[in-house]
Amino acid sequence: MGLKKHIPNTITCCNLLSGCVSCVMAMEGNFLLALTFIVIGAVFDFFDGMVARLLKVSSPLGVQLDSLADDVTFGFAPSFMVFVFMRGLEYPEFLSPVAAYVPYMAFFIAAFSALRLAKFNIDKRQATTFIGLPTPANALFWASLVVGFGNAIHSLNYGWLLMVGLVLLSCYLLVAELPMFSLKIKYLAWRANKIRYSFLLVSAPMLLLGVGAAVPIISLYVAISVVKSLAKRRHA
């Protein structure tokens, strides 16, 4: 039991370390490796809780450590990528007095990710579903956007405006009172999982986009969640 109880926390720390390395890669301008280490962190994040349950060593310490690691890998790392990316964008002349400060808006992502994680820890409604956009999904969206569509955004006259708008939108989605379905499948029956299965079937071809795939996949995930929420309210 002595060594066994440390295994999940060790995996969580590997998640945190992956986020740290992602930040270094972003600082060096290697956005592809920055994305890669966020994905590696997501893999560690997937397994730490599973291992804790299998070994029956879940603890309050592990819960808090998991949130701290997640805010590094899925909060600060993607926000730092966006910050470095936005520093390389062209800004209109009328923004010249403040253009150097606009990229700092990227760190709103880290702040709202921390708020999202804190809310998740105390919100009993999120045992089987999510309220607001999960931080790993948000992080993958941003990293994939920078790597897969960065050149296209650079070519836009108002690419900076698009990025600012997306930052504000993602911050809202992180803390919005918007129910979002979980991909955890307890029973294989179609009726209980039709939304999950439909999402996975539609998302599968999008993987052909490679590094940019997370952008349409996460966008679809949000769109389905919004439509499902509106339909539920209409029938309430």
* DSSP annotation string for 104-135: GGGGHHHHHHHHHHHHHHH-GGGGTSEES--H
Percent of the chain at pLDDT > 90 equals 64
Q: What's the rounded Cα separation, in Å, for the pair 129 and 197?
A: 16
Q: Quick check: is 160 in a domain?
A: yes
110: amino acid identity, one letter:
A
pLDDT given for residue 128 in this prediction: 64
pLDDT given for residue 203 in this prediction: 92
92-113 average pLDDT score: 96
Range of the domain at 151: 4-184
Number of domains in the chain: 1
Please determine, for residue 187, whether its predicted confidence score (pLDDT) is greater than 80: no
Q: 59-91 pLDDT, tens per residue? A: 788 888 999 999 999 999 999 999 999 999 999
pLDDT given for residue 182 in this prediction: 80
CATH number, domain of 108, equals 1.20.120.1760
Q: Quick check: is 229 in a domain?
A: no
Q: Quick check: is 206 in a domain?
A: no
54: amino acid identity, one letter:
L
pLDDT band at 213 (very low <50, low <70, confident <90, very high): very high
Q: Quick check: is 15 in a domain?
A: yes
Q: For the chain, how many helices (H) and strands (E)? A: 9, 2
Q: Quick check: is 106 in a domain?
A: yes
Retrieve residue 203's tokens.
């998302």
Q: Quick check: is 202 in a domain?
A: no
Q: Quick check: is 192 in a domain?
A: no
pLDDT given for residue 95 in this prediction: 93
Between 21-25, 121-125, 172-176, the lowest mean confidence (pLDDT) is in 121-125
- Going by C-alpha positions, the residue among 13, 141, 143, 135 that lies closest to residue 74 is 135
175-202 average pLDDT score: 81
Q: Quick check: is 194 in a domain?
A: no
Tell me the whole-structure pTM to 2 decimals: 0.91
